Chains A and B, each alone.
Chain A
Amino acid sequence: MKKALKITGTILLIICTTTAIFAQSSDYEITKEFETSYGELKASIDNATSVEEADSLNNEVIKLRESFAEHKSLLDHALYPNTFDDSMQDLLAEANETEEILMIIDNQGDMLTSLNKQLEAYQKEISLLNNETDSLKTLIAKSEESEQNLSRLVKQYRQRVEERDEFVLNMMDSLFVAYRELDLDAGTSKEITSSAIAIQQGDNPLEFIEATIEENIQVLKAGSSELSTQDLLKMHTIQKRFAETWDRVGSDLSQVYGGNEANQWRNKIDDQLKDWKASTSKNTWDSINQTLAQNNVDLGAFDNNQSFYSAIENFINNSIENSEDKIIAEADREEFNSFYEFWNSKVKEEWGNYVQEGEILTMSQISTIDAELINWRDETEPVSLVIPILLGLSFITIVGLIIVLARKD
């Protein structure tokens, strides 16, 4: 606005002064006023900031040229070595150039506005993504923390599982023994209860048993992937022993320590044991399957000890059948080696104790599989051709001798 007023003022000044000067008819004043008007118009062109302004100034240049055209020869002399025409041409070119530049700037301004809007949108998006990233980082941190907790839990479990479960089993056994030593016939239920309380010394063993089973179930739910097959087999074995012991003493323990809720306790721990068994079983068989896959052995589907044994048997028998008719059985040999490695190093050596104790496979089943493996190995042994060749050669020699002897006769 201020600039527009200034330009308008300049234009008015030019018009007024030229009118006044022509009345005075002083050549010197005419040239001076031309130079002043020219200079101010040039400065206005240089400082123009809008296309409209530049356009208006362009018209003013034309007016200035028209106004001073009659003094061309005087101005040619005054502006020497320049000329009036050259000066006006320069000014007009500058005005046009300024107008063009301002038009470009105007267009670029529009583009800039558009780009700024885009930038703003991107910034919002980046801000949004940053927030999401922060949330994800928090989640990752939590997840890492949770992972660390899980690893710690598994580690603790591994350290404690044996001693604690052994302790619980021993406790259950000792409670059972202590209970049996009580003279149930002689004492009243009151006496039994008081004796049981003396054994437990303050804590209810049913609660302890319940907590132990629950903890095992939670460990399986939270971190089964962190547990090795050996861990799971161990847990499977413990679970089995736990279930056996509970079957023996559960009813009596519930009666003695469950009080009025004996049946509820019994049922509750029964249910918990079923859950534990199902969970342990599933995770154990899945883990064995994964280990087989890692050893390139495909036994097919199995989800209990019986189907596991059947799968092994079928696998070996099929493999033997496949190898029987082949003279060169390189692939079969590789398959045998993979399974043999798995069987000996994993099943028998690494997991051996738990496989037997947990009745994954019985001793009899293991022996049968060993025997079948020997057959399979024989079938995949490279066949020696030396004996057939020697026999062939012997036969040819005998036939040759017979023919020679017959000719002599």
Chain B
Amino acid sequence: MRINRITHALLGLLIIAMASACNSFVVENVDYSQQLESVLVPDENGNVTDVRHGISFNVNSFKQQEFGESDSTKQIREIRLIRNADGFYFITANQFTNVYVMEPGKGSLKMKKKIKVSESPLNEPAFNLRSSGVQLVMTDSNEVLELNENGIEETEEEEQS
């Protein structure tokens, strides 16, 4: 009788182990990278949709985050986003001083990092995707920053210096 109970317990454990094994099925080396940045124009409610890459969200949160609650004069004419190989979204816009690194969640974008890229508001920024990662091009100054989800990467020149 006791043997039966032990057997049943072992079988139960086996089933639980198998089930848990099934739940942890993971595909490795997924590349989420988006080759070309998306430049999206918000509608009157601040919603943007990238049909090609299948994402839709509201930019008002970024506006508040960037300009604060009080400043209603600032408007986002268009927002730029690009996704790196790890799946993080890099988002910025004209007049922003930051690049927001957002991690997709279940029906949400969660800020992973807010990268301060300039002291003055950006003028016509642009993202490029390179093998090294995401580039932020500041077209007015021709300055290029290499970014990852953790912040600005130091360039070789900087490292050398």
| A residues in contact (CB < 8 Å) with B | 23-29, 31, 74, 77-78
Stretch from B8-16, B35-43, B59-67 forming part of the interface with A: B35-43
Which chain B residues border A78 with CB–CB below 8 Å?
35-36
Output the least CB separation between B60 and chain A (Å).
Answer: 23
Neighbour of A31 across the interface among B36, B80, B139, CB < 8 A: B36
Q: State A26–B126 Cα separation when bound (angstroms).
A: 6
B128 contacts across to A, CB distance below 8 A? 25-27
B144 contacts partner chain A, Cβ-Cβ < 8 Å? yes
Expressed in whole angstroms, the Cα–Cα distance for A74 and B127 within the complex equals 13
Assembled-state Cα–Cα distance A27/B137 (Å): 10
Contact B142–A27 (Cβ < 8 Å): no
Name the CB-closest residue of A to B139: A24
What bracket does the count of chain B residues touching chain A fall in?
Answer: 10 to 19
Listed A/B pairs (18) with beta-carbon separation below 8 Å: A23-B142, A24-B126, A24-B137, A24-B142, A25-B128, A25-B142, A26-B126, A26-B139, A27-B36, A27-B37, A27-B129, A28-B36, A28-B80, A28-B127, A29-B139, A74-B35, A77-B36, A78-B36
Is the contact region of chain A dominated by helix, strand, or loop, or is it mixed?
Answer: helix
Q: Are B126 and A28 in contact (CB under 8 A)?
A: yes
Task: Return the chain B residue nearest A80 by Cβ.
Answer: B52
Q: Given the complex, which residues of A lie within 8 Å of B37, measured CB to CB?
A: 27-28
Which residues of A are found within 8 Å of B139, using beta-carbon distances? 24, 26, 29
B137: chain A residues within 8 A (beta carbon): 24-26
Q: Are A74 and B36 in contact (CB under 8 A)?
A: yes
Q: Please, which residue of chain B has its CB at the minimum distance from the CB of A73?
A: B35
A-B residue pair count with CB separations less than 8 angstroms: 35
- Chain A to chain B: the 8 pairs with minimum beta-carbon distance, closest first: A26-B126, A77-B35, A24-B139, A27-B128, A28-B37, A26-B137, A78-B36, A27-B36
CB distance from B83 to the nearest CB of A (A): 13
Seen from chain B, the residues whose Cβ lies within 8 Å of a Cβ on chain A are 35-37, 39, 80, 126-129, 137, 139, 142, 144
Shortest distance between the CB of B113 and any CB in chain A (Å): 22
Q: Residue among A23, A27, A77 with the most chain B CB within 10 A? A: A27
The listed residue with most A CB atoms (<10 A of its CB), out of B35, B37, B80, is B35
Return A84 CB to nearest CB of chain B, in Å.
13
Min CB distance, A87 to chain B, in Å?
16
Q: How far is B144's CA from A23's CA once the two chains are assembled, in angstroms?
A: 12
A28 to B38, CA, bound (A): 8
A24 CA / B140 CA spacing, docked (Å) = 8
Give 12 new A-B contacts, CB below 8 A, not counting A24-B139, A31-B36: A23-B142, A24-B126, A24-B137, A26-B126, A26-B137, A27-B37, A28-B126, A28-B127, A74-B36, A77-B35, A77-B36, A78-B35
User: Which A residue's beta carbon lies closest to that of B80?
Assistant: A28
Q: Which chain B residues lie closer than 8 Å to A27 at the CB level?
A: 35-37, 126-129
Q: How far is the CA of A26 from the CA of B80 in the complex (A)?
A: 12
A29:B36 contact, CB within 8 angstroms: no
Q: CA A31 – CA B129 in complex, angstroms?
A: 14
Chain A, Cβ-Cβ closest to B144: A25
CB-CB < 8 A to A24: which residues of B? 126, 137, 139, 142
A189-B35 Cα distance, complex, nearest whole Å: 146
Known: A23-B142, A24-B137, A24-B142. A29 touches B126 (CB 8 A): yes
A27 CA to B80 CA, complexed, in Å: 12
Residues of B within 8 Å of A29, CB to CB, are: 126, 139
Min CB distance A274 to B, Å, is: 119
Who on chain B is nearest to A76 by CB? B35
* Residue of A23, A29, A31, A78 with most partner-chain B CB within 10 A: A29
A24–B135 Cα gap in the complex (Å)? 12
Give Cα A29–Cα B139 distance, bound, in whole angstroms: 10
Q: Which residues of B contact A23 (CB under 8 A)?
A: 142
Collect the chain A residues with CB atoms within 8 Å of residue B35's CB. Answer: 27, 74, 77-78
Nearest Cβ in chain B — how far from A28, in angstroms? 5
Residues of chain B within 8 A of A31, CB atoms compared: 36
- Please name the residue on chain B nearest to A29 by beta carbon: B126
Assembly CA distance A26 to B35 (angstroms):
12
